Structure 1
Amino acid sequence: MNPSSRVAIVTGSGTGVGAATALGLARRGWNVVINYSRSAAEARETEAACRAAGAQTLLVQGDVSRDADCRALAQAAVDRWQRLDALVNNAGVSVFGKDAEWDALDARAFERVMGVNAVGTFQMVRACVPHLKAARGAIVNVSSVAGSLGIGSSVPYVASKGAINAMTLHFARALAPEIRVNAVCPALITSRWFSDAMGPAAYEQIKARSEAVSPLQRASSPQDVAEAIIWLIEGARTVTGELIQLDAGLHLGGAPALPKA
């Protein structure tokens, strides 16, 4: 293991896109901070896979909606490796509800979703910026087509992803030239997170509908999204301020009415 390897923090990396990204970076020689809020067992599995790939790792529990946890994540990386080269803001939550059921939503739903997805993204960027500047590093925010098409699991989720998109553009300007900032915007991802949240039957219905209305007639896997994130970190040296649509072309047809869970 090479202690001088580049270092990345991947929030929400116990499962899904975060786990795939952490492992992909580990296989490319990066050391990784694996963060989780509740998925401790899965995070340990991600850590073991990254170590088997030859990476050094840190496993850090923390809720990105709490500023102290964000600062602790950044400091843990620097204390261990004396550097930080990339931040992947992947941690996210949602609530599920039909558009016509707005009365079922309250301020607490907005506060929780916005707190993790939007405020958490801001707090992680703020905590990491001094170290990323020194490394001339990169930030990738995991957003969603919800932020640009206005479709998704609920209004709070759509709003939070729209906020991430706007912050991505702002940070790309504010942090240049030292730090590149981009976002990936997937549609439905074939991960356990979606299936568990929606229920298997609703998940399969929505997946089939999404594939049917997408020009490429497929949904993204966690690995598909991770590959795009890693390219934005490692290879996209002249790319900043981009919102990469990873939706199999769904955006080309506007915003189809997808069935809700």
Structure 2
Amino acid sequence: MSNTLKGKIALITGGSRGIGAATARQLASEGATVVISYSNSEGQANDVVAAIEASGGKAVALKADQANAAEVKALIADVVKRYGKLDILVNNAGVFETGTVAETVDDAGFDRQLRVNYEAVVTAIREASRVMGDGGRIISVSSALALRSTWPGVADYSATKRAIEGYTKGVARDLGAKGITVNAIGAGSTNTEMNPDTSPFAEAQAAATALGRFGRPEEIASVIGFIASPAASFVTGAIIPVDGGYSA
């Protein structure tokens, strides 16, 4: 375990699995005390906490529905109440409603994507920025699909991720004077429960990258770890592609 983030308090939303879980392990391995939020996967969240603690790290899991703005606000308040501060916010939680093409938009599915993928990010950033000080880090997990909707049925999802990227750039300007950096990760196809590399669409996704394969959650998490570190103190307002060359 390194001490790069020793003394830092980090919150990772949607930290019970996939990129979120890998990020929690990454930041904990660098010395941060990690809080992960989950909506339904309590067992998986507890497993992540147990694994971090078994490795000598510190972690706790808190339940919060990202689709509920009040719960997002309460989550940030709980972290500050427990630890007295919040240094790192990783907006990772997201949902993907598949197969929604323009002429058959499902209102409920669109609304959930909008609330979880974008509105919850805005709420979390607003709440976190009020308590963060100089050196604070805000990192949101976007998607390579924000750059272009390569396949039918992803327009709504792509739009929510593009919104995150636009908000990231604007808020970086807003918070620069406080010494808080704000960045986003343009994650490419990554082997997670949401998008396994065994799905019917996996071959086409892999072929769209320069490396010809899916990414691993740990490969996304390692870049998040860098952006969260003091080494990235002059990086803000950036959308960093970690997509195996999808955007090349």
- Calculate the TM-score normalised by the size of structure 2: 0.91
Is the 8 Å Cα contact of residues 144 and 186 (structure 1) preserved in structure 2? yes
Deviates more, 1:159-168 or 1:52-61: 52-61
What SS does the corresponding residue of 1:88 show, helix, strand or coil? strand
Aligned to 2:140: 141
State the Cα RMSD in Å: 1.8
Shift >4 Å, 4+ stretches? none
What SS does the corresponding residue of 1:244 show, helix, strand or coil? strand
Aligned to 1:257: none
Aligned to 1:34: 36
Aligned to 2:150: 151
Task: Return the letter of the residue paired with 2:37.
Answer: N
Q: Cα gap change, 1:151/1:213 in structure 2, threshold over 3 Å: closer, same or farther?
A: closer
Aligned to 2:21: 19
Aligned-pair CA distance for 1:30: 0.5
Is the 8 Å Cα contact of residues 109 and 156 (structure 1) preserved in structure 2? no
Is the 8 Å Cα contact of residues 135 and 233 (structure 2) preserved in structure 1? no
Counterpart mapping for 1:31-180 below 5 A = 31-97=33-99, 99=101, 102-132=102-132, 134-151=133-150, 154-177=154-177, 178-180=179-181
Deviates more, 1:65-74 or 1:119-128: 65-74
Deviations 1:222-243 (A, max 9, x none): 0000001111110211110111
Listed as ranges, the gaps of 5+ residues in structure 2 are: none
Aligned-pair CA distance for 1:53: 2.5
Deviates more, 1:56-65 or 1:25-34: 56-65
What SS does the corresponding residue of 2:11 show, helix, strand or coil? strand
What SS does the corresponding residue of 2:195 show, helix, strand or coil? helix
Task: Return the letter of the residue paired with 1:121.
Answer: V
Aligned-pair CA distance for 1:135: 4.5
Is the 8 Å Cα contact of residues 180 and 240 (structure 1) preserved in structure 2? yes
Aligned to 2:246: 250
Counterpart mapping for 1:230-241 below 5 A = 230-234=225-229, 235-241=231-237
Is the 8 Å Cα contact of residues 190 and 215 (structure 2) preserved in structure 1? yes
- Calculate the TM-score normalised by the size of structure 1: 0.87
Is the 8 Å Cα contact of residues 100 and 106 (structure 2) preserved in structure 1? no
Aligned-pair CA distance for 1:171: 0.8
Task: Return the letter of the residue paired with 2:26.
Answer: G
Q: Cα gap change, 1:161/1:151 in structure 2, threshold over 3 Å: closer, same or farther?
A: farther
Listed as ranges, the gaps of 5+ residues in structure 1 are: 253-261
Percent of residue pairs identical: 32
